[in-house]
Amino acid sequence: MKRIDDTTGLKKKAIEIRRSILSMLSAAGSGHTGGSLSMVDILVTLYYSKMNYDPKNPKWRDRDKFILSKGHACPALYAVLADVGFFPKSELATLRKLGSRLQGHPQYGLPGVEVSTGSLGQGLSVAAGMAIADKMDNINARIYCIMGDGETNEGQVWEAAMTAAHYKLNNLCAIVDFNKMQIDGWCCEVKSQGEYRDKWKNFGWHTIEAEGHDYDSLDKAFEEAKNVKGMPQMIIAHTIKGKGISFIENKVEWHGISPKKDELAKAFAELDEQEKDLVG
């Protein structure tokens, strides 16, 4: 795995990943831009700083696992998996094309993809099953599962929440990419989920709130989660849908579309500016 120890390095990597996401979505001509961009910093934190894995040996039994329950955001996962070496970066351009391993929603079989997802609400159950198996086998690894905030409308999520708490799965850490939007609009208008953090707390989870685009905040959250005993952990990561590109941020219409050529150029220009600012 490629470790990056400094915040500036992680931020630079995130810019690179955002470029990669926008390029592949633009080439594909369809796909989910908003929710891919909102979780980039969470993925970068996990894959370049927190998780133990081996791209040369993707099935290594002792690895930490990442489950993308919000499967529609797979461009972000693909960009990261290619960058850390699970498959060639050249494959990214094949997203959503006939014959590609990069399906419109992630398919098990592509190295680094732990679970096929896309039908929302299923990832946490699978993650809990993996966490139970690791405990049975005395494997000292962590299972990470990221969900969308809209996704937790699904009842199965709360079934899994009960299971994880009942079996005291302290090796399971769920993250909600809390960008506050879903396809039909703002989450609170589509269907209110009430006191969100309290819900998870009352389901028996150790809850943490983090700023989902702040590397120090994310680092702290994952470190706190790792040390929790006897409980699964929920990190509610406050994010911005479409983060990083001004004309995509917080625009619900960007949930399920991809950038056109001119939009891609504008987005790249913004990312170039951000990179310049970073280097200073």
Question: What does DSSP assign to residue 204?
Answer: T
What's the min distance (Å) between Cβ of 63 and other proteins? 11
Local structure of 116: helix, strand or coil: coil
What's the min distance (Å) between Cβ of 81 and other proteins? 17
What's the min distance (Å) between Cβ of 126 and other proteins? 4
- Report residue 149: phi and psi, to 5°: -70, -35
Beta carbon nearer to other proteins, 119 or 193: 119
Q: Which two tokens stand for residue 31?
A: 């796909």
Q: Provide the mask over 199-238, with x wherever binding to other proteins is found by CB under 8 A and - wherever it is not.
A: ----------------------------------------
Beta carbon nearer to other proteins, 36 or 163: 163
For other proteins, the binding residues in 78-137 under the rule CB under 8 A are 107-109, 114-119, 122-134, 136-137
Contacts of 78 (CB under 8 A, 6+ apart): 24, 92, 95, 102, 106
Beta carbon nearer to other proteins, 105 or 180: 105
Q: Provide the mask over 44-83, with x wherever binding to other proteins is found by CB under 8 A and - wherever it is not.
A: -----------------x----------------------
What's the min distance (Å) between Cβ of 15 and other proteins? 33
What is the phi-psi region of residue 94: left when phi exceeds 0, alpha when psi lies from -120 to 50, beta otherwise?
Answer: alpha
What's the min distance (Å) between Cβ of 110 and other proteins? 12
Q: What's the rounded Cα separation, in Å, for the pair 116 and 110?
A: 10
**In terms of DSSP bridges, do strands 172-178 and 143-148 run parallel, antiparallel, or are they unpaired?**
parallel
Local structure of 66: helix, strand or coil: strand
Question: What does DSSP assign to residue 108?
Answer: B
For other proteins, the binding residues in 140-169 under the rule CB under 8 A are 155-156, 159-160, 162-163, 166-167
Beta carbon nearer to other proteins, 162 or 188: 162
- Binders of other proteins: how many residues, by CB under 8 A? 33
What's the min distance (Å) between Cβ of 76 and other proteins? 20
Determine how many CB atoms are found less than 10 A away from the CB of residue 278: 14
What's the min distance (Å) between Cβ of 68 and other proteins? 13
Contacts of 67 (CB under 8 A, 6+ apart): 114, 115, 117, 123, 124, 126, 127, 130, 143, 144, 145, 146
- Give contact residues for other proteins (rule: CB under 8 A): 61, 107-109, 114-119, 122-134, 136-137, 155-156, 159-160, 162-163, 166-167
